[in-house]
Structure 1
Amino acid sequence: MPIILLVEDNEMNRDMLSRRLTRRGHEVLMAVDGKQGVAIAQDQQPHLILMDMSLPVLDGWEATRQLKAMPKTQHIPIIALTAHAMAGDRQKCIEVGCDDYDTKPIDFNRLLTKIQALLTSPTP
């Protein structure tokens, strides 16, 4: 069963996404800020991380940088989740180490397609 770490500070988003992912057969771990997300990722080694970019304590940009800099977590695919849908935002997410990017409000089917693509692609 694929394990997904959802790093999201908004309780409604966390609840909705975790329930829908669980129904699709994923085990979902949750963190409410970037610092907690980094710690859980190191400890639990999820198969994929959904990273909100606007987080308290440690934002998603810095949390992603840290995860991609650590040998233990650098292989874990990260999908950035952000309400920022400006032209350069996708590129900024990729530059800090995200493997993909999706905008809020979440289109669950589109996100699921991206999750499946990353979970089935061979890891380098």
Structure 2
Amino acid sequence: MRKKKVLIIDDDARNIFALKATLKAKSFDCLSSLHADEALELLKTDEEVDVILLDMMMPDIDGYEAIPRIRSIRSRREVPIFAVTAQAMVGDREKCLEAGADDYISKPIDVDKLLTLLARI
């Protein structure tokens, strides 16, 4: 059985490093990008991606702008996008879902919660 491939889009290399280490230990393959525009270019290729973990608060293109751009790529319309944000205030989850995210997880990431989300894909 093929490992699920997770694309991590986060402008903080430390977050990417920690997520990759955690996910690889749980038998996921990982790709990463520090910039949404770089991730969008990758998503236009034939690279297999089963789920996207998207930091919502990034410079240049934030998650709220990136989600519709990802959804506009025909081959990626159905790829689950999980919004990741340190903004864990009332209404943030709804704002992420309204932007087109499939689900939401706050930082610091609860690994068990993340694995539960990923188990659904």
Tell me if 1:108 matches 2:111. Answer: yes
Structure-to-structure mapping, 1:30-109, within 5 angstroms = 30-43=32-45, 44-109=47-112
Q: Which runs of 5 or more residues in structure 2 are unaligned?
A: none
- 4+ aligned runs moved over 6 Å, structure 1: none
Q: Which runs of 5 or more residues in structure 1 are unaligned?
A: 120-124
Aligned counterparts of 2:64 and 2:22: Cα–Cα separation in 1: 25
Aligned counterparts of 2:69 and 2:28: Cα–Cα separation in 1: 25
Q: Displacement, 1:69?
A: 2.3
Aligned counterparts of 2:33 and 2:99: Cα–Cα separation in 1: 20
Task: State the aligned residue count.
Answer: 118
Superposed CA RMSD in Å reads 1.0
Letter in 1 for 2:111: F
Percent identical pairs in the alignment equals 33
What's the TM-score, normalizing by structure 2? 0.92
1:14 counterpart (13, 16, 20): 16
Q: Displacement, 1:74?
A: 0.8
Aligned counterparts of 2:112 and 2:102: Cα–Cα separation in 1: 18
Letter in 2 for 1:61: Y
Aligned counterparts of 2:5 and 2:89: Cα–Cα separation in 1: 30
Residue-by-residue CA offset, 1:63-115 (whole Å, 9 max, x unaligned)? 11111122121110000000111111111111111000000011111111111
What's the TM-score, normalizing by structure 1? 0.90
1:2 counterpart (1, 4, 29): 4
For the residue of structure 2 that corresponds to 1:19, the secondary structure is: helix
